[in-house]
Chain A
Amino acid sequence: MSNNQQLNDLATQVRRDILRMVHKVNSGHPGGSLGCTEFFVAMYNEIMELNDEFEMDGIGEDLFFLSNGHISPVYYSVLARRGYFPVEELNTFRVIDSRLQGHPTTHEGLPGVRIASGSLGQGMSVAIGAALAKKLNKDNHLVYSLHGDGELQEGQNWEAIMYAAGNKVDNYIATVDYNGQQIDGATNDVLPMGDLKAKFEAFGWDVLEIKEGNNLEAVINGMKEAKTRTGKGKPVCVLLHTVMGNGVDFMMHTHAWHGKAPNDEQLETALAQNPETVGDY
């Protein structure tokens, strides 16, 4: 898929999926999911080289790891619409006997997912391990991961950040969803993290910023630029500036919808702002 209009239509449909999924079970995390919609659509349809059949080892293809597992709605929607599993299965999000658990897991055998995540701060280490395996296997494909900005408060990340630079894990691009929000409020109020760009650079990473993380074209161009920075002896960090709740006016610029589902009326309003494109599940 390369037509940006088609991808924008897909992004709108993914936002509808997210809203309908969390509304149905009155739980889940729409805020971060909506904010990362363009990123996921770009990654799975434009940026990553992916095999048609899902295999856990992922040899001969790019790999993606979601560290901030609570934004599972966007992950599930994009995986389903990329063909990893039937789109109708989105209807089972967070219900009993589902492969679409509240947080992503390999435990139920959902194609597309290679690690459980939800307890925060663990995904970067896993992604580094997968990148090291690619080097051992002489597989020139890349490993990608996504992290919340608030998630960087977990100390394990900084162990991983230090390791990746110190060991020149340069087949790896870690993206930070830089929306400045976490459950209890603005990251700057909960626990200020200072200058993330300077911090990653001080640890020895090559850092680039995507200022318009909810502009699909900007995300695609930014991630393509990030790819050109790989293989040069440094891990690559993308600071992806997004707006939590993007695409639904009353959910934007607030942490209030981090982990709250819309009611019937709010859903109607939100869906009206995101009309059906490629078809509801």
Chain B
Amino acid sequence: MKKYTDTGKKDTRSGFGAGMTVLGRTNPNVVALCADLIGSLKIQEFIDENPERFFQIGIAEANMMGIAAGLTIGGKIPFTGTFANFSTGRVYDQIRQSIAYSGKNVKICASHAGLTLGEDGATHQILEDIGLMKMLPGMTVINPCDFNQTKAATIAIAEHQGPVYLRFGRPKVANFTPEDQKFEIGKAVLLNEGTDVTIIATGHLVWESLLAAEALEAKGISAEVINIHTIKPLDEEAILASVAKTGCVVTAEEHNYYGGLGESVARVLVKNHPAPQEFIATNDTFGESGTPDQLMEKYGLNNKAIVKAVEKVLERKQATPSFNMQG
């Protein structure tokens, strides 16, 4: 299979910070807002270089979303920054009315998403945010997989007219996508070609999917791996083209399976090309305190869990001859 090299573990939130630094230097309309989490969001460099374009809102996320909506009136491109939990659930109605329904060009940038926030526990580990955001008409939902891709996504969304939810995380994870990549919103990235199964992953689970594909190769199973960094709009064409070839799917995400990427993929399959699918996602549960690795192991969100899910979905495919006939 195609080899990917981890060039050194980095946190995706630092990719966001690096992207903001670039935007600060290249796009005079970009402004940043933060609700008392500058250090966590890694935007100090943007602030140092553009103090007049930074707004410290304080611990008042609802006000931050409204101010961001207002800043667009006058041509600004506001990027809001706080944890994913406080970027979505806490301010859902503000986003719904003042940003999404009002069609405002606000970029909601959310760090510390999912279980890998770690020791702070379930109050801060939102596993429902993708669902909340993808349900809003007109909202673009992006969950990049590593530092380089998060940086590229941050820069790309400034050029996109309309509200965007950009989700990233706290832990240092493998950095393996190209540094100079062009980020295309809504375009899946085919990381590895395979013939037996399609693994469709987003965020931190993309690297885990590559590790799983390697382990599967050793067992003689050929896995196609697709990085879906944009959950909405979803690259349906890429998904269907792959499943036409492989006939079964495993989806992988750091999110509840209710409302997540897996459900979006299932909708596409059911409508166009029914095929067995297994879900790597949390099972309608809150998280808890622990290290990121411990939590991902306990809640079944790592490469070992993906390998098991692939074996299960292959059994289902083989037990259902009609699925093999399709494509």
Residues of A within 8 A of B (CB): 56-59, 63, 65, 105-107, 114-119, 122-134, 136-137, 139, 155-156, 159-160, 162-163, 166-167
Residues of chain B within 8 A (CB-CB) of A134 are: 74
**Nearest A residue to B33, CB-CB:** A129
Structural contact, B63 and A156, CB atoms closer than 8 A: yes
Please, how many angstroms separate the alpha-carbon atoms of A159 and B64 in the complex?
Answer: 9
Query: Within 8 Å of chain A (Cβ to Cβ): is B57?
Result: yes
Residues of chain A within 8 A (CB-CB) of B78 are: 129
Query: Within 8 Å of chain A (Cβ to Cβ): is B259?
Result: no
Structural contact, B66 and A160, CB atoms closer than 8 A: yes
- Could you list 20 further interchain pairs (A-B, Cβ under 8 angstroms) beyond the known A125-B69, A125-B94? A63-B73, A106-B102, A106-B103, A115-B70, A115-B104, A116-B102, A117-B97, A122-B94, A125-B63, A125-B64, A125-B65, A125-B70, A126-B70, A128-B70, A132-B70, A132-B71, A156-B63, A156-B94, A160-B63, A160-B67
- Which B residues, 75 to 108, have Cβ-Cβ distances below 8 Å to chain A? 75-76, 78, 93-94, 96-98, 101-104
Q: Contact flags (1/0) for B30-60 with A, using CB distance below 8 Å?
A: 0100000000000000000000110101101
Q: Contact flags (1/0) for B117-144 with A, using CB distance below 8 Å?
A: 0000000000000000000000000000
Which 10 interchain pairs have the tightest Cβ spacing? A129-B70, A125-B66, A133-B74, A159-B63, A159-B60, A129-B67, A126-B70, A130-B70, A129-B71, A156-B62
What is the minimal beta-carbon distance from A149 to any residue of chain B, in angstroms?
Answer: 19
Contact with A126, one of B60, B66, B75 (Cβ below 8 angstroms)? B66
Structural contact, A122 and B97, CB atoms closer than 8 A: yes
Residues of chain A within 8 A (CB-CB) of B55 are: 132, 167
**Nearest B residue to A107, CB-CB:** B101
Structural contact, B65 and A57, CB atoms closer than 8 A: no
Query: Within 8 Å of chain A (Cβ to Cβ): is B68?
Result: yes
Please, how many angstroms separate the alpha-carbon atoms of A159 and B63 in the complex?
Answer: 6
Structural contact, A136 and B53, CB atoms closer than 8 A: yes
- Which B residues, 291 to 315, have Cβ-Cβ distances below 8 Å to chain A? none
Residues of chain A within 8 A (CB-CB) of B75 are: 57, 59, 133, 137
Contact with B74, one of A58, A163, A166 (Cβ below 8 angstroms)? A58
Please, how many angstroms separate the alpha-carbon atoms of A167 and B57 in the complex?
Answer: 9
Structural contact, A125 and B73, CB atoms closer than 8 A: no
Please, how many angstroms separate the alpha-carbon atoms of A130 and B98 in the complex?
Answer: 13
Most chain A Cβ neighbours within 10 Å, of B55, B70, B71, B76: B70
- Which B residues, 167 to 213, have Cβ-Cβ distances below 8 Å to chain A? none
Structural contact, A139 and B74, CB atoms closer than 8 A: yes
Structural contact, B101 and A105, CB atoms closer than 8 A: yes
Structural contact, A159 and B62, CB atoms closer than 8 A: yes
Structural contact, A122 and B66, CB atoms closer than 8 A: yes
Residues of chain A within 8 A (CB-CB) of B67 are: 125-126, 128-129, 132, 160, 163
Structural contact, A57 and B97, CB atoms closer than 8 A: no
Residues of B within 8 A of A (CB): 31, 52-53, 55, 57-58, 60, 62-76, 78, 93-94, 96-98, 101-104
Could you list 29 A-B pairs, sorted by A, with CB under 8 Å?
A: A57-B75, A59-B74, A106-B101, A115-B69, A115-B70, A115-B104, A118-B97, A119-B96, A122-B93, A125-B67, A125-B70, A126-B69, A126-B70, A128-B70, A129-B72, A129-B78, A130-B73, A130-B74, A132-B67, A132-B71, A133-B72, A133-B74, A137-B74, A139-B74, A155-B62, A156-B62, A156-B66, A156-B94, A163-B57
Structural contact, B102 and A115, CB atoms closer than 8 A: yes
Structural contact, A136 and B98, CB atoms closer than 8 A: no
Residues of chain B within 8 A (CB-CB) of A122 are: 62, 66, 93-94, 97-98
Residues of chain B within 8 A (CB-CB) of A167 are: 55
Please, how many angstroms separate the alpha-carbon atoms of A159 and B67 in the complex?
Answer: 11
**With A117-B97, A156-B63 in contact, is A163–B70 under 8 Å at CB?**
no
Structural contact, A133 and B93, CB atoms closer than 8 A: no
Structural contact, B69 and A129, CB atoms closer than 8 A: yes
Residues of chain A within 8 A (CB-CB) of B101 are: 105-107, 116
**Nearest B residue to A163, CB-CB:** B63
Most chain A Cβ neighbours within 10 Å, of B58, B71, B96: B71
**Nearest B residue to A160, CB-CB:** B63
Structural contact, B73 and A57, CB atoms closer than 8 A: yes
Contact with A133, one of B58, B73, B94 (Cβ below 8 angstroms)? B73
Residues of chain B within 8 A (CB-CB) of A163 are: 57-58, 60, 63, 67
**Nearest A residue to B63, CB-CB:** A159
**Nearest A residue to B68, CB-CB:** A129
Please, how many angstroms separate the alpha-carbon atoms of A155 and B75 in the complex?
Answer: 28
What is the minimal beta-carbon distance from B113 to any residue of chain A, in angstroms?
Answer: 24
Please, how many angstroms separate the alpha-carbon atoms of A116 and B66 in the complex?
Answer: 11
Please, how many angstroms separate the alpha-carbon atoms of A63 and B74 in the complex?
Answer: 10
Residues of chain B within 8 A (CB-CB) of A59 are: 74-75
Please, how many angstroms separate the alpha-carbon atoms of A56 and B75 in the complex?
Answer: 9
Residues of chain B within 8 A (CB-CB) of A105 are: 101-102
**With A105-B101, A122-B98, A156-B63 in contact, is A136–B52 under 8 Å at CB?**
yes
Structural contact, B74 and A126, CB atoms closer than 8 A: no
Residues of chain B within 8 A (CB-CB) of A65 are: 70
Structural contact, A107 and B102, CB atoms closer than 8 A: yes
Contact with B66, one of A118, A129, A133 (Cβ below 8 angstroms)? A129
Residues of chain A within 8 A (CB-CB) of B102 are: 105-107, 115-116
What is the minimal beta-carbon distance from A42 to any residue of chain B, in angstroms?
Answer: 23
Most chain B Cβ neighbours within 10 Å, of A115, A118, A156: A115
What is the minimal beta-carbon distance from A232 to any residue of chain B, in angstroms?
Answer: 21
Please, how many angstroms separate the alpha-carbon atoms of A265 and B162 in the complex?
Answer: 47
Structural contact, B62 and A125, CB atoms closer than 8 A: yes
